[in-house]
Amino acid sequence: MSTTNETRPAEALRTGDRQADERASATKPLGGIAGWMDDRIGAAKGVSFLAKKVFPDHWSFMLGEIAMYSMIVCLLTGVFLTFWFVPSASQVVYDGSYVPLQGVTMSDAYRSTLAISFDIRGGLLIRQIHHWAALIFVVSVFVHMARVFFTGAFRKPREINWVFGTILSLLACIEGFAGYSLPDDLLSGTGIRAMNGFMQSAPVIGSYLSYFVFGGAFPGEAIIPRLYSAHVLLIPAILVGLFTAHILLVFLHKHTQFPGPGRTNKNVVGYPLLPVYVAKAGGFFFIVFGVIALISAVVTINPIWAYGPYDPSPITAGSQPDWYMGFADGALRLLPGWLEFETFGFTWSMNIFPGSLILLPLMWTIIGVYPFVEAWVTGDKREHHLLDRPRNAPTRTAIGIAGISMYVVLFLAAGNDLMAIKLHLSINDITQTLRVLFFVAPPVSFWITKRICLSLQRADRQKVLHGRETGTIWRYADGRFEEIHAQLTPEERWVLVQHESQEPLQLTAGKDANGVDTPIARKQRLRAKFSRFYFKDRVAPPTPSELEAAHHEHADHGAALDGGHEAIEPAGAGQERETIKADRQHD
């Protein structure tokens, strides 16, 4: 049956080439089902390549895995839920086992969700796993995204994958929104009500948009089946497709790695897929799934039976969306009402439109184009496979934190009512404060973050040049005290000195012979400005000669008995000091 057993002539030429080949001939030949399969698809060629593929190890690389696994858990439990969920807004009278709602008129969607929660054994567990996994999915996507951003993993050649990831994260939010709207309970129905208001706020097309999406007047009977189709078919298909492309690109590019001894931009250091990563990453799937199941066992999420069926008239206090839509809800709470105005009898709902329909696309566009902006500013067209330590890219890190601070302000705003109640504060004061913070927090956090990064870089420099503080104080015979600094090993030192420190670009000639700005100069001047913004504050990594000089200084100090360990600047002072103070010098 199998033809793989025959010795092929080419194989004889490669004898002893690789250990794996020797092993292959020593162990039993590929037969049975595997042989039958290989006869038909020839997968054996790829297996040996894939099995030995190397992945670097770092805890932060697990974040993307959490996203991947919680997505798989969502897909799995989601399929289960479709067996019992009825995506219909038809009104029925509840006669299930949950006593408080018996006899109440409700939509079939809500009735079937109650049935999943009370009448289908284990149904509540599956529903809660699905909801928890969705929340964890979106969290991990965002945190993974932050990791990629702050370590500069989005740089060439991975810009496309960054864009894929950006779209994935947006889809994750939309998918989540569509999902939690399906049960048609009072809370989610209120969310759909708000969504209807968002659509109506769109200039010119708003009313049409609302009628198209809802298939007529709000709420209608079309929105639940349409959201269902989007939630179980349309968005998951795109999600899974993009996710596959995302993973394939990771395979193609080989994973980035943090700098370290032996790691270069030209290699990847780590463990092979088989067996270590199969065990670790495969095991991690079970850990993620297991933890989600454990949470779902003991922590109730979205108790729709407590909210009651959707009805446009009643409402509950503390109506909020799931967490990932919180920032958009917060934006709506912060936008002041006076932004709405009328021209020629047409209403511009600028108190709603920017926070509802503009915010998400705008935010994700900014995120998506960032790698291209940074690449244009730096002019860096090289491939980067070594990650940046966030402190070594102070401006990027500060931009990221500034963006996050803006997000956090919006996110907090979505809880302004709860904060007011729990903290006994005025909701008006909280809202006003957050309105101010929305503009103040980003520049302040930018500045603070950048300073912290630069200080950390200086600390690294000092550590390289003067060693690590051991905490051991020596007292000399002459009464002098000195803290012993231990020199770093070359391996320890390498992490602190390996990075490139970019300097700002400067314009040399921007005018032609007649003193007129050349067209290229205008663009270049802008770029020089950006470059200064990014790189004018810089701390250069120490060089071997600086280290040498620092050693001499220590020796000198030792001789002079003045124990100058607090001195930061290396000996040969003047110009060395300039490097460290370069940030001021360039101002």
Partner 1 sequence: MNDNETTDHEKSTSLVPASGDGHDRLPASLIAGDDQFENPGLPAHVHRAADDDPAAAKRAERQVATLFGLSMLATLVFLVSYFAIPDEATFFFPGIGMAKTQNVVLGLSLGFAIFLIGIGAVHWAKTLMSDEEIIEERHEQASTPEQRAKAVAVVAEGVDSTQLPRRPLLKYSLGGALGLFALPLGLQVVGSLGPVNIDELGHTIWDPKDNDGKPIRLMRDPEMTPIRFDEVTNGSVFHVMPETLQKYIDEGKHVLEARAKAAVILIRLDPDLIKVQKAKDWGVDGALAYSKICTHVGCAVGLYEQQTHHLLCPCHQSTFDLTEDCAVIFGPARRPLPQLKITVDDAGYLVATQGFQEPVGPSYWERAR
Supply 424's token pair. 């006994």
Minimum distance of partner 1 from residue 284's CB (angstroms): 6
In this structure, are residues 200 and 218 in contact, taking their beta carbons and an 8 Å threshold? Answer: no
Q: Around Cβ 265, how many Cβ atoms within 10 Å?
A: 13
Applying CB under 8 A, does 282 fall inside the site for partner 1? yes
Applying CB under 8 A, does 578 fall inside the site for partner 1? no
Judged by CB under 8 A, the chain residues 508 through 547 that form the site for partner 1 are 508-510, 520-521, 524, 527-528, 531-532, 535, 540, 543-545
Place of tokens 């009072």: 186
Applying CB under 8 A, does 289 fall inside the site for partner 1? yes
**Contacts with 341 (C-beta within 8 Å, 6 or more apart), sequence order:** 347, 348, 350
In this structure, are residues 95 and 119 in contact, taking their beta carbons and an 8 Å threshold? Answer: no
The one among 15, 229, 316, 365 contacting partner 1 by CB under 8 A: 316
Applying CB under 8 A, does 502 fall inside the site for partner 1? yes
Supply 19's token pair. 């250990």
The one among 21, 39, 65, 380 contacting partner 1 by CB under 8 A: 380
Supply 216's token pair. 């007529």
Q: Which is nearer to partner 1, 374 or 553 (CB)?
A: 374
Applying CB under 8 A, does 476 fall inside the site for partner 1? no
Q: Which is nearer to partner 1, 220 or 572 (CB)?
A: 220
The one among 10, 338, 473, 481 contacting partner 1 by CB under 8 A: 338
Judged by CB under 8 A, the chain residues 214 through 243 that form the site for partner 1 are 215-220
Q: How far apart are CA 384 and CA 258, in angstroms?
A: 11
Place of tokens 């033809």: 3
Judged by CB under 8 A, the chain residues 47 through 66 that form the site for partner 1 are 52-54
Place of tokens 């470059």: 531
Q: Which is nearer to partner 1, 126 or 367 (CB)?
A: 126
Find how far residue 308's CA is from the centre of its chain: 35
Return the SS3 of 55. Answer: strand
**Contacts with 33 (C-beta within 8 Å, 6 or more apart), sequence order:** none
Minimum distance of partner 1 from residue 346's CB (angstroms): 6
Which range in 235-243, 276-284, 396-404, 563-571 contacts partner 1 by CB under 8 A? 276-284
Alpha-carbon distance values, 440 to 209, 434, 453 (Å): 35, 9, 20
Tell me 331's DSSP state.
H
> Of 120, 61, 74, which is closest to residue 96 (Cα–Cα)?
120
Applying CB under 8 A, does 275 fall inside the site for partner 1? yes
Applying CB under 8 A, does 95 fall inside the site for partner 1? no
Judged by CB under 8 A, the chain residues 155 through 174 that form the site for partner 1 are 157
Q: Which is nearer to partner 1, 194 or 363 (CB)?
A: 194
Q: Which is nearer to partner 1, 335 or 404 (CB)?
A: 335
Residues in the chain, how many? 587
Q: Which is nearer to partner 1, 70 or 169 (CB)?
A: 70
Q: How far apart are CA 447 and CA 433, in angstroms?
A: 20
The 387-426 site mask, x for binding partner 1 (CB under 8 A), equals -----------------------------xx---------
List the Cα angle 398/403/404 in 5-degree steps. 95
Minimum distance of partner 1 from residue 350's CB (angstroms): 9
Which range in 133-141, 143-151, 283-291, 442-450 contacts partner 1 by CB under 8 A? 283-291
Supply 101's token pair. 């709602």
**Contacts with 212 (C-beta within 8 Å, 6 or more apart), sequence order:** none
Minimum distance of partner 1 from residue 498's CB (angstroms): 7
Minimum distance of partner 1 from residue 562's CB (angstroms): 29
Alpha helices in 335-392 (DSSP H): 353, 359-378
Supply 385's token pair. 């496979």
Q: How far apart are CA 298 and CA 526, in angstroms?
A: 56
Applying CB under 8 A, does 194 fall inside the site for partner 1? yes
Minimum distance of partner 1 from residue 206's CB (angstroms): 5
Applying CB under 8 A, does 493 fall inside the site for partner 1? yes
The one among 36, 83, 208, 533 contacting partner 1 by CB under 8 A: 208
Minimum distance of partner 1 from residue 382's CB (angstroms): 8
Element (H, E) at 348: strand 346-349
Size of the site for partner 1 (CB under 8 A): 146
Which range in 11-19, 32-40, 308-316, 444-452 contacts partner 1 by CB under 8 A? 308-316
Q: How far apart are CA 447 and CA 449, in angstroms?
A: 6
Supply 244's token pair. 């596959």
In this structure, are residues 449 and 401 in contact, taking their beta carbons and an 8 Å threshold? Answer: yes
Q: Which is nearer to partner 1, 121 or 424 (CB)?
A: 121
Tell me 571's DSSP state.
S
Minimum distance of partner 1 from residue 448's CB (angstroms): 25
Minimum distance of partner 1 from residue 77's CB (angstroms): 11
Q: Which is nearer to partner 1, 266 or 475 (CB)?
A: 266
Minimum distance of partner 1 from residue 300's CB (angstroms): 8
Applying CB under 8 A, does 349 fall inside the site for partner 1? yes
Applying CB under 8 A, does 335 fall inside the site for partner 1? yes
Applying CB under 8 A, does 385 fall inside the site for partner 1? yes
Exposed/middle/buried for residue 452 (C-beta within 10 Å: 0-12, 13-18, 19+) = middle
Supply 447's token pair. 């500045």
Element (H, E) at 232: none
CA atoms within 13 A on the CB side of 288: 27
Which range in 360-368, 379-387, 478-486, 559-567 contacts partner 1 by CB under 8 A? 379-387
